Structure 1
Amino acid sequence: MDHVSEQLNGTYLTFGGHVELNSYRFLYFVIMFAIYICIICGNSIILFLIWVKKNLHEPMYMFIAALLLNSLLFSTNVYPKLLIDFLSDQQTVSYPLCNFQSFMYYSLCGSELFLLAAMSYDRYLCICKPLQYPVQMKKRTVIILLVSAWLLPACQLVPSVFLTSSLNICTLTLKAIYCNNSVSQIYCMKSRATYIIYGMFIFINTTLLPMLFIIFTYVKIFIVSFQSSVNFRKKALQTCSPHLLVLISFSCFYSYDIIIARLEVDLHKTVSFIMSLQVILYHPLLNPIIYGLKLKKISQHLQGLFSHGKLIVCVRINVC
């Protein structure tokens, strides 16, 4: 491809992954806008409950709150720009903004796995070592785990900023609808060895190691649970199943996003478009639903919140 000679700060990239945008732009906008509002409302309501209800001020719920906040940040990193593009005549983004979106995208994805690992550690201590739990899972420990979950993935991605700054751009068209791993395909690289090695380093540290740790903790939890009473098993399943559902949901779409881009698989444009939307759709939307329905304390507070709201509405319109 021809070398692009524009200065990087003045370079605009075009999103080439949209399908039938001229025909369905308003339909895309309405659907994705409604989903974004649902994501904001669903995550914010449970965040609010965890903030105001004292019996939810426990490590497990603090990690859930962090996970929901992470989902909000992840969605806000992608949805506003995507919604603007649906209504725009040209789907473009400045090179620095695209790099920032890509950086935040993978930083928050890494944070998601680190938070899930912290949650699995919390459940492991609670179920397998209940006597040590109050000592080891103090407020300070929770804060350290939360800060580490957000800082470590971001810090590991910082070298990518310097790595890409030395590369030339060969094409201004991204085979995507937002900035993710597809950004790597716009650079002129005689050899991708350095890039691949660095990518593997990030993958091992932010994906593989947290996943192995999560698997280890849940294997230990299952062993202890099956050696215990039926009631203990039910209680362990009740607290662990939401985390496992979230982990499975996130892992499926995150794996697709990494594997397809790294292997540079040439998918049909429509398939790529649908999968790109699903990556940013299901996980942030399902998180509050899973935790709201599966965790008894949150479910009870949600019922109370909506019952109270219904009562206020009834009184105001003089129905009750």
Structure 2
Amino acid sequence: MIILVTGAAGFIGFHLSKRLLQEGHQVVGIDDLNDYYSVDLKTDRVEELKVTSSEFSFVKADISDKDKIEEVFQEHNIGRIYHLAAQAGVRYSINNPDVYIRSNLIGFYNIIEAARQHDIEHLIFASSSSVYGANKKVPYEVSDHTDHPVSLYAATKKSNEMLAHSYSHLYDIPMTGLRFFTVYGPWGRPDMAYFKFTDLIKSGQQIEIYNEGDMYRDFTYVDDIVEALFRLLDVIPEPSNQWDAEHPSPEVGPAPYRLYNIGNNAPIKLMDFVNILEEALGVEANKVFKPMQPGDVYRTWADCEDLYKTIGYKPTTNLREGINKFVSWYNKYHSSEFLKTNF
């Protein structure tokens, strides 16, 4: 099967592409290799995928370029899509809204329109836990209202869900949306807290801890995320016979569309996370405590029972194990031995 992975040079896209290749699929990866964070890291991920299998094809392209996207679909007989490309980051969206509109809205439309034009069997796309916005009720359930986003990033992700549902309903395209919760691990994103903290701690600099450390995140190890994504490949949604138009719910509907939380269902206090990272690094961090930042939320906590029942899998990696794996990769990646061995 030929599978398109958008954002293939990104964190989750890289790991998923590698798994698909190892399972014998052909993968066409799209990424624009933008400089939101290290282009070198993204390029290294692509090179790693090329080494993994000759069945990997890489296309450097911006998903907001509709003609280029159509060209990719014309050249490859794509059967299914994992759409993971997006401009990420809550705080970055406050001062850089244009890129979020271009990538997360126009780019998203281009992908689902291509899916319509080319009879795609299943499109799986990334949403975000950010859509829960100002909600206080936890754990977050897919059936909860998501009408109060507190960042532009969250608003674009909510828009993705609505666009996908409308296309699924109008054109009978099977689509599955996944609200990701704080994914971490090797080859991760340098803009994420665990990566930034590691950089700063290793160089003896201060780390800034928001809301005085009184925050919780549902950390989920990347291999657990990828296992769930892989299992969903052949779980193709169908219209639900449980749909009740008088009592509508986001969990079921008249379209071949499903929406799931994907997380660990076990929120960790920020200070506990910092302590585990300090242990793994063998260094005590120089901490500076700051107030809550605009766009942040106090706690994320995923109710994932629907997903677990659907694919028969729950995350198996605890935070200490996952952080140790990340630190081991980080040390190797930044060593001269890695550079000499791989490049």
TM-score, L = length of structure 2: 0.28
TM-score, L = length of structure 1: 0.29
Q: As a proportion of its length, which structure holds more strand? A: 2
Greater Rg over alpha carbons, structure: 1
Q: As a proportion of its length, which structure holds more helix? A: 1
